[in-house]
Homo-oligomer: A and B are copies of this chain.
Amino acid sequence: MLKLDFHPTGRHFLQIPGPSPVPDRILRAMSYPTIDHRGPEFGALGLKVLDGIKAIFKTAQPVVIYPSSGTGAWEAALCNTLSPGDTVLMFETGHFATLWKKMAENLGLKPEFLGLPGIEGWRRGVQADMIEARLREDTQHTIKAVCVVHNETSTGVTSDIAAVRRAIDAAGHPALFLVDTISGLASADYRHDEWGVDVTVSGSQKGLMLPPGISFNAVSQKAIQASKDAKLPRAFWAWDEIIEMNKGGYWPYTPNTNLLYGLSEALEMIGDEGLEQVFARHQRLAAACRAAVNAWGLEIQCADPAVYSPVLTGVMTPEGVDADAVRKTIYEHFDMSLGTGLGKLKGRMFRIGHLGDCNDLTLMATLTGCEMGLKLSGVKVAGSGVLAAMDYLTSHTAAPALKAAA
């Protein structure tokens, strides 16, 4: 039988920036027996989730749901819209932008990777002016797509997608606009239609509070049009047949039914709380977390307050301190998982997730675990981040948001 928690007692604190903790309501919904994916109950479920997910992306266009994790949806976005050898303009915001670029190469595309020098791009997010400048140069329209990451999970920077849209428009460039908001969706405000995004890529295991295993492509009519001429080979990821069958609530191949149960429940939970209220809650918790980091005298990975992530906060450890050793101490002593430093940030920082099914006391537990772990690791801090965060929360009280029972 499955015994997973290596700690003898108490609940594990899963404070990585995703997978985020899955609420009991969703775990229970997912444990409903699997049904026939060709039967009438399934059709009703399919229509419900296909319709409901649109509100989360703020789109009236189709959202394609894949039985895969987010990496698959990256591939789907590229192979449905592009042809071998196409140039795509990407921006180095961090580890995940780098992985997406590597994927583009593997698929036979030619990515151009814009970025700030050193790790500055990993601290400041997308620079729309650089994109605009590059597009203006591209008078031949060689660049077929602009690809950026909205919420960089590796750094805690939430780039300004509307600004990138404006940059593309200002340059008068016809490139498609592809955005990854795998870790931003349902935590940070996102507007697929208003921002003129052609393909938005996302996943289940972050703000949607689901286990990993489903991923999304929200599309535009322009993207669908592009897919008719795109030459990258595709079958599993091909939009057309899926969108066609989705009209009845079904899929051309077997969807992962039990995760769709969970998605149905997640959509109800988010609807009950209100999407804007969900965003406000994330902003408030993120601010309290940053208050703690500031009080510790540690540096926040994101160097530009305008693009602080509401999803996670990257904490840089002092020179000479191995961030992963701190994480290990915290894991062993306090049964809490934090995110590791990825790529260029390996060992230099850890990441605190405060997304999804999170509340004030979960955040405070997290911060006490960090503060105690820093102490046990011998890291001197300037002051108590825990006190600072409590100050923030008590001076920015959320109106008690009690629900009545249904």
Contacts and interface: CB of A to CB of B under 8 A. Distances in A.
Interface in A251-265: 252-259, 261, 264-265
A98 interface: no
Contact of A33 (B14, B66, B259, B386): B14
Which of A37, A340, A404 has its CB near the most chain B CB atoms (within 10 A)?
A: A37
A173 to B, nearest CB: 25
Nearest to A232: B233
Given A14-B33, A362-B11, A403-B8, A264 B27 contact: no
Contacts of A7: 359, 401-403
A340 B2 contact: no
A86 to B, nearest CB: 12
A240 to B, nearest CB: 11
A31 B41 contact: no
Nearest to A368: B364
A92 interface: no
A27 B31 contact: yes
A244 interface: no
Interface string A376-406: 1000000010110010011001101111111
Nearest to A331: B39
> How large, as a class, is the contact surface on chain A?
35 or more
A34 interface: yes
A357 B11 CA distance: 7
Given A203-B254, A337-B36, A402 B332 contact: yes
A8 B401 contact: yes
Interface stretch (A51-59, A101-109, A161-169): A101-109
Contact of A24 (B32, B72, B398): B32
A7 B67 CA distance: 27
A394 B372 contact: yes
Interface string A299-332: 0000000000000000000000000000000011
Given A6-B403, A393-B372, A333 B358 contact: no
Interface string A227-266: 0000011111010000000000000111111110100110
A251 to B, nearest CB: 9
Interface string A1-41: 11111111111111010110111110111111111111111
How many copies of the polypeptide does the oligomer hold? Answer: 4
Contacts of A256: 69, 211-213, 256, 259
A211 B102 CA distance: 32
A100 B371 CA distance: 45
A198 interface: no
Nearest to A14: B36
A334 B238 CA distance: 37
A394 B376 contact: yes
A259 B258 CA distance: 10
A138 interface: no
Given A33-B12, A364-B368, A400-B332, A6 B405 contact: yes
Contacts of A34: 14, 19, 21-22, 205, 211-212
A361 B338 CA distance: 14
Given A28-B31, A268-B1, A405-B4, A281 B212 contact: no
Given A22-B258, A106-B238, A213-B258, 5 more contacts: A1-B406, A39-B331, A233-B233, A334-B360, A368-B368
7 contacts: A10-B359, A27-B31, A36-B337, A39-B331, A106-B235, A361-B369, A362-B365
Top 5 nearest A-B pairs (CB, nearest first) are A10-B359, A1-B1, A213-B256, A365-B365, A332-B400
